[in-house]
Each structure stands twice: as C-alpha cells, then as structure tokens.
Amino acid sequence: MKTRKSKKLYKKALAVMPGGVNSPVRAFRAVGGNPLFIAKAKGSKIYDVDGNEYIDYVLSWGPLILGHAYPAVVKALKKAVEKGTSYGAPTSLEIELATLVKKAFPSIEKIRMVNSGTEATMSAIRVARGFTKRNKVVKFEGCYHGHVDGLLVSAGSGGATFGIPDSLGVPQSYISETIILPFNDTEAFKNTLKQHWKEIACVIVEPVVGNMGCILPKEEFLKTLREETEKYGIVLIFDEVMTGFRVAFGGAQQYYRVKPDLTCLGKVIGGGLPVGAYGGRKEIMSLVAPEGGVYQAGTLSGNPLAVTAGIETLKVLSKTSTYKKLEKTMQSLERGLKDAAKQAGVKVKFYRAGTMFCTYFTEKEVIDAQTAKTSDTEAFKKFFWGMLKRRVYIAPSQFEAGFISLAHTEKDIEKTVKAAYETFKEL
Ligand SMILES: *Cc1c(COP(=O)(O)O)cnc(C)c1O
C-alpha cells in the first residue's frame, strides 16, 4: 500500500496543528502509524491522497448514513450556496428541518439548532439546571457527550461516585457537580438517586453507548432511568447524537420505547455538515432564550447550508424502504463478520444496534466500561492494519463504533467479510 503522500502531509500537519489533526482520534494514536490524508469520497468509498480506495465504515464518525456525496444532498447544497451561506436571520428551512425531526422524535416538542453535538449536550444540561434549579449531573462511565468541561471526568477508584478530571484544564470544582456511575447498573443508579436526588438536575446517557464501541442497554436499565428520574423530578436527557436515526428512524427512544424529557441530536441530522440540536418537552424548552431565562445563542446556528443537508438527508430517511435496505445490509455484515471470526478461530463479541456496531476482541460479554476494557487492544491493532491493507477503512480504535450507509452494497460486504476472514487468520 502506497502512503508516501499521506506521510509527507502528516509531517507538514504536525508542524502547524496539535498532533497534526483537528480532532484527536484521527491521529491513529490507538493503532500507531500515520493517519491517511483523504482526497475525496463517494458513496461507500473513501480515497486517500496516494490514490488508494477503501470501503469506509467510519463515515465521518457516523453522520453519512446515505453515504458520501449523496446526489440529492450535493444538488441541494449547490443550489443553497448560490443563495448565500448564512444570514443570521430566520428562514423557512429551519421550520422544515424542525418539523422533520419532530416527526421522527415525538418526544421533541420544541427544538433548538446548534453547531455540534458538544454544544447540544452542554446546552441541554444548562436548560435542565435552569428548569430544576438544581446543579448536579449524573453521567455514566464510558459515555461520551462531547468535550463539555463538567463531563470530562472518569470514575475515581474504589467505585466512589466522585470522579477525577479526564483532561488537563478542567477544574476539580467543575466536576464536583458531576456524579459518575457504571452503565447498565440499575441498583447503583437507584441508590444514588435515593441519596442525592435533591441536588440532581439531570441524568444524561447515551441510550446505546457508541463511544466505547457499541454497548446495548439491558432490558430494564433505560426503563429504570425513566421511572426513577420521573419520581424525583429529575430531567432525563438522552444523548442521541450518534444513535439518532441510526438505532432506528426515531433513535434509541423509539426502539426501546422510553421517552426522555430532552434529546440531543447531531451527526446524521447535519447530513455531513456541522450540526447539533437539542429539544424536548415544551415546558422545559420554553426556558431557552428569548422565550425564557436560559441563555444560549449561536452566530451560525441553523445556517441554510447545514439545515439544507439535514433536510435532504431526513427526507431520504423518512422512506421506509431506506431502513429496510440498511437493515438487510447490516444483517449481511453481522452474519459475515461473526462467521469469519468463528471460521478463523478468533474469539470476539459482536454487538450492533441498527446501523452501528462493534467487534470486541474479548470473550466476555461487554456491558459497561469495565468489561469493554477486557478487549485485547493489541489484537485490534493488528486487525485494523490488516483490514486497511485489504482496503477496508475502520475506525482506528477498539472503542469506536462502526457504521454502514445506504451506499454500502452486498459486494462491499462480501469484500469486507473476506478481508476480515483473512485478517482474523493472521492474528
Ligand atoms: C459525537 C458525539 C458527541 C459530540 O458531538 P460533536 O459534534 O463531535 O461535538 C456527543 N455525544 C455523542 C453521543 C456523540 O457520539
């Protein structure tokens, strides 16, 4: 595999950007070696600057559910750009996108567009605090909600509920308002609420965890979150930035039939442009400025380009045939990868929710951060490079989810499964 040009660009990039990238995981640190620099992408394929073609299962970390450069999205964007890229004033497009989102997510009565998932979660927490007049946030170990100060926290030792900052630059005082609990642990959750409910404004959760691979909630876990938060007047926030339109059209809340108070969206609803959104119950969202006293604003929020890409994407997703095709492709991939591992004699655990998935190199059931850590990351590293060599681009970390798109064909899946079998054999 020729990567001379990527290597040269990486060297240049390192001189002008921290780690040579604009977002850490792109730098391949978890797998070693040089990141690929990308020249273009189309459908299910991505092309690096050395001219190599790969089947792409990263899809910009989830947003591109229709595949790269989907014709209707490109066409609409070209038209939109001619009319100006941003006005800083309301447009009818924003109403159209809000209406499309509401159709998929009935729990969202009112919605506010922002520019990233991070902004969505940060703002949703602020509204929850304004609404409850309480300060503390409950989050779960291994869930990622963007780089919000108070959420960059990892569990302290000894199963204590008080965490330690996960990043330099986060004051201990910021995370003193965050309570961190293990995912899928219903008892720990109940006990914590019983003790601390008077101080807790909200509980934020990835209903299916996509940021430590792909971890499914136990049957009763999400239901317990709903019942208990309701009992104590705590706002339940589903961070569906990744799961929205991925686990199902109406996200994990549709699939698991649990209705949160607030929902955060991003990724897919921007169709590949920078977008986030948060919304939910009317009486909570009415507190957002200018209707209410919770301040939140954005120069480029709801800009016509991002909103147009979102509208065109959601239009395609609104057709039931879309999810039928996605499901069929995903089933082929699931079957193929499981068979390939079995035939090669490699023990893995494979999980998926809708069109997001993960293959863990472990024999243990993965149910939370601790069990996810039982994965053999050295085996994953070899798997990553083996797949890349065979022109399959997967996320360069064991703890990231994989994604498929509408553009992935049965032939893509066949090639991928063959590559996986050959790579598994090498481990
Ligand atoms: C990606 C992601 C975010 C952060 O979104 P950005 O647009 O990267 O800020 C937040 N929550 C979840 C669940 C995500 O997957």
Q: Which amino acid is at 106?
A: P
Please name which of 129, 155, 130 lies closest in space to residue 140, comparing C-alpha atoms.
Answer: 155
Percent share of the chain, pLDDT over 90: 96
Q: Which residue has the tokens 């965050």?
A: 178
Same structural domain for residues 268 and 342? no
User: What pLDDT digit, counting tens, does each position of 243-276 carry?
Assistant: 999 999 999 999 999 999 999 999 999 999 999 9
Contact 9, 37 (CB under 8 A): yes
Same structural domain for residues 165 and 273? yes
- Give every CB contact of residue 142 below 8 A, 6+ residues apart in sequence: 183, 209, 211, 212, 215, 368, 369, 372
Q: Please tell me the number of Cα atoms within 13 Å of 276 on its side-chain side.
A: 22
Last residue of a domain, one of 317, 345, 371: 317
With a 6 Å cutoff on the Cβ, whether 146 touches ligand 1 is yes
- Give every CB contact of residue 129 below 8 A, 6+ residues apart in sequence: 135, 201, 202
- Choose one of 21, 144, 214, 275 to mutate for the ligand 1 pocket test, by most ligand atoms within 8 angstroms of C-beta: 144
Same structural domain for residues 247 and 262? yes
With a 6 Å cutoff on the Cβ, whether 239 touches ligand 1 is yes
Contact 342, 232 (CB under 8 A): no
> What's 270's DSSP letter?
G
User: What pLDDT digit, counting tens, does each position of 88-138 carry?
Assistant: 999 999 999 999 999 999 999 999 999 999 999 999 999 999 999 999 999
Contact 56, 28 (CB under 8 A): no
Tell me, yes or no, if 325 is annotated catalytic.
no
Closest atom of ligand 1 relative to the 61 alpha carbon: 1
User: DSSP characters for 35-90?
Assistant: PPPEEEEEBTEEEETT--EEEESSGGGTT-TT-BT-HHHHHHHHHHHHT-S--SS-
User: What pLDDT digit, counting tens, does each position of 278-301 carry?
Assistant: 999 999 999 999 999 999 999 999
Contact 158, 168 (CB under 8 A): no
Same structural domain for residues 57 and 86? no
User: What pLDDT digit, counting tens, does each position of 19-32 carry?
Assistant: 999 999 999 999 99
With a 6 Å cutoff on the Cβ, whether 379 touches ligand 1 is no
117 C-alpha to ligand 1 centroid (Å): 4
The structure tokens listed for 13 are 């990039």
CATH number for the domain that contains residue 99: 3.40.640.10
Same structural domain for residues 274 and 363? no
Same structural domain for residues 62 and 132? no
Contact 180, 161 (CB under 8 A): yes
In the chain, how long is the greatest CA-to-CA distance? 60
> What's 421's DSSP letter?
H
User: What pLDDT digit, counting tens, does each position of 343-367 carry?
Assistant: 999 999 999 999 999 999 999 999 9
Same structural domain for residues 165 and 242? yes
Closest atom of ligand 1 relative to the 143 alpha carbon: 13
Same structural domain for residues 153 and 288? yes
Last residue of a domain, one of 317, 334, 365: 317
The structure tokens listed for 230 are 């309701």
Tell me, yes or no, if 50 is annotated catalytic.
no
Same structural domain for residues 250 and 270? yes
User: Please, which pLDDT band fits residue 163 given cuts at 50, 70 and 90?
Assistant: confident
Q: Which amino acid is at 369?
A: A
Contact 178, 192 (CB under 8 A): no
Same structural domain for residues 61 and 192? no
Specify the number of domains making up the chain: 2
Last residue of a domain, one of 297, 317, 337: 317
Q: Rounded to whole angstroms, how far apart are CA atoms 368 and 208? A: 11
Same structural domain for residues 198 and 244? yes
CATH number for the domain that contains residue 418: 3.90.1150.10
Instruction: Name the residue range of residue 410's domain.
Output: 4-69+320-426
Same structural domain for residues 111 and 53? no
Pairing of strands 235-239, 200-205: parallel
Please name which of 367, 365, 366, 361 lies closest in space to residue 344, comparing C-alpha atoms.
Answer: 361
Contact 255, 100 (CB under 8 A): no
Q: What pLDDT, on a 0 to 100 scale, did the predictor assign at position 14?
A: 98
> What's 294's DSSP letter?
B
List beta partners, residue 48: 38
